[in-house]
Each structure stands twice: as structure tokens, then as C-alpha cells.
Amino acid sequence: MTFFLKVIIRPTGIVALRALPQSKMRTALRYIPPTTLIGAIAYPLLHLKGSRTETFYNKRNFRSAAENVLRLFNWVTVKIEGKPRLYGSLLKINTIYRGKAQSAVTSFPFAVMYGEADYSITAIYLINEEELSKGPYTLRDIERAAWGMVRIGSRESVISVESVKKGKTEIEEMQETRTAYAFQFKDVEVEGKGTLQSVVDWRSGIGDYSKAKHIIMFYPEGIVTVRGNLKVAKCGEEVIILAS
């Protein structure tokens, strides 16, 4: 048995996910990668224990504090209702610096989740109980942390968590299933619509992405049918596919 948390998130309209961390320009992700989901829950989780640490330095190498809670999760995935639009207007920036006027044109794209329909983002976190039992966190802490997620992506992307449900699931193997949640696109056959997106494999670490491993994720539009040697977990009424 594995515990899962199902977290329903409401965006404040804009989700700014930069494809290159620490870059403000040009590229944005349309869909939320797993690293962002881990980062989103790591911050309130660390907060609960009074930790303000964001970065660890090991001589000249540095890592994100989110790595400390990484192993608490077996898998994370997300379902997005409504198709976000990528948008970035051209900005002409004029600055006066040391008496000299400087001018540049740039753009700052982001995913817009705004319109008549209420966009809803649902994240599922599968919890690794063995790691959890080693402390210092309890399942209750992770649940409270889920209620305390404040943003998805960079700082304009403020969110509110509208519901947190917990449950138990068993991981099963099967040849075919239907899902609305993102999954790793590897050795599978998909029937239905969706978007492929290359994302950082969060299991290889969070923080320094310059040498990070990437995986291809499939973000379904609605529900799709997936075939292959699948590892599947039922979370309430819904199904998620774990990476092999």
C-alpha cells in the first residue's frame, strides 16, 4: 500500500515556467514539470520544520534544499484541465543607468490559464513510506504542506490550494489503461490528444540543471488510452501511470 495526496490547485491566471532556470527570457513551458511540483511542496514542508534553507553548498557545488524532501515521493504527476496558451508580448525596456539611456527589446513568455472556464490543476504525489518513516516528517506534515503550496514556477505564478485528499493505492502492472495525468513517454502507445514536453528528471536531482537528465512527458488533453508494460496506481476514481 502506498499513500497518495491529490491536490487541487487554482492558478491566479498566469503560470510562468521558464524552460531554462534563472533565465527570464524567450522560452517557457506550457505544462508543469515534476521538478516544479516537488519544489512547490518542498517550500511549505521545510517551513513546517522551521527550515529556511534554499541552497546547500558543498565546496563549490550547490544543490536545492528541495533535494532533502525529494526521496519522500515515489512519483509526482499533474492533470491540467483547459489548454494553457503561451503568451509573451514584446517589451521595450528603457533604463537609465549611470546617466546613459539603454534600450532593449525582449519578451517574457508564460503560460496563461485565464478565461471563462475555471482552469484547474490537479497534482498527485505518491509518498514513499519507507523514507517517511525515517523522519523527520509525518504524513500529516506533507498534507499540511500541500495546503501551503504558494506558487508553481516563478514568483508571479501564485496559486491557492483548494482541496487536498489523501488515500491509499496499490501499484499494479497492466497492459492498457486510461488516464488524464501526465506520464513518461517511453515504450508506450498512446491513443488520444496531448503534448510532448521534455522535462528534467526530478529523480536525478533538483537545483543544478546544467547537467540534468531529461525525460519526455506526455501531457494529455482530456483522457487518453495508453498501452505498454505499465505500472499503474488508482488514486480515487482516477489512474496515474508511473515511470518504469
Partner 1 sequence: MFLSVGVRFEANVEALNMVETAGNYTKHRRVPYLVEEDGKLKTVYVPALSGESLAHAYQEHLAREALSIGLPVCDDCRRNEFFKSMNKAHLKKKIDPIPEDPKKIEEAIVKACVIEDVGGFLYAEKPPVRRTSAFQVSYALPVKSAALFATSEPQLHARHAQINASSKKGNVSEQMIYYVETGTALYGFTFNLDLDAIGVSAITSGPILEEDEIKARREVALKALFRMLSSSQFGAKLSRFFPVGGITELVITVTEHPFVVTSPIYNNYIDRTQKRLAVLKEFGEEYFFTVADENKVPEEALKEAIDYLREKGAF
C-alpha cell at 230: 505499465
Site for partner 1 in 73-112 (CB under 8 A): 82, 85, 87, 89-92, 95, 97, 112
Do the Cβ atoms of 21 and 153 come closer than 8 Å?
no
Give the C-alpha separation, 8 to 72, whole Å.
Answer: 20
Residue 138 C-beta: closest distance to partner 1, Å? 11
Asked if 149 is part of the footprint of partner 1 (rule: CB under 8 A), the reply reads yes
Q: Of 1 and 105, which has the nearer Cβ to partner 1?
A: 105
Task: Indicate the SS3 state at residue 49.
Answer: coil
Asked if 156 is part of the footprint of partner 1 (rule: CB under 8 A), the reply reads yes
Asked if 68 is part of the footprint of partner 1 (rule: CB under 8 A), the reply reads no
Q: Of 66 and 78, which has the nearer Cβ to partner 1?
A: 66
Give the C-alpha separation, 137 to 3, whole Å.
Answer: 14
Q: Which stretch binds partner 1 (CB under 8 A): 5-13, 68-76, 128-136, 173-181?
A: 5-13
Give the C-alpha separation, 66 to 127, whole Å.
Answer: 15
- DSSP label of 182: -
Give the C-alpha separation, 150 to 94, whole Å.
Answer: 32
Instruction: Report which secondary-structure segment, H or E, holds 143.
Output: helix 139-147
Site for partner 1 in 172-191 (CB under 8 A): none
Asked if 48 is part of the footprint of partner 1 (rule: CB under 8 A), the reply reads yes
Q: Which stretch binds partner 1 (CB under 8 A): 52-60, 127-135, 186-194, 221-229?
A: 52-60
Q: What are phi and psi of 44, to 5 degrees?
A: -65, -30
Query: Interface residues with partner 1 (CB under 8 A)?
Result: 10-14, 22, 43-44, 47-48, 50-57, 60, 62, 82, 85, 87, 89-92, 95, 97, 112, 114-118, 140, 143-145, 147-151, 155-162, 164
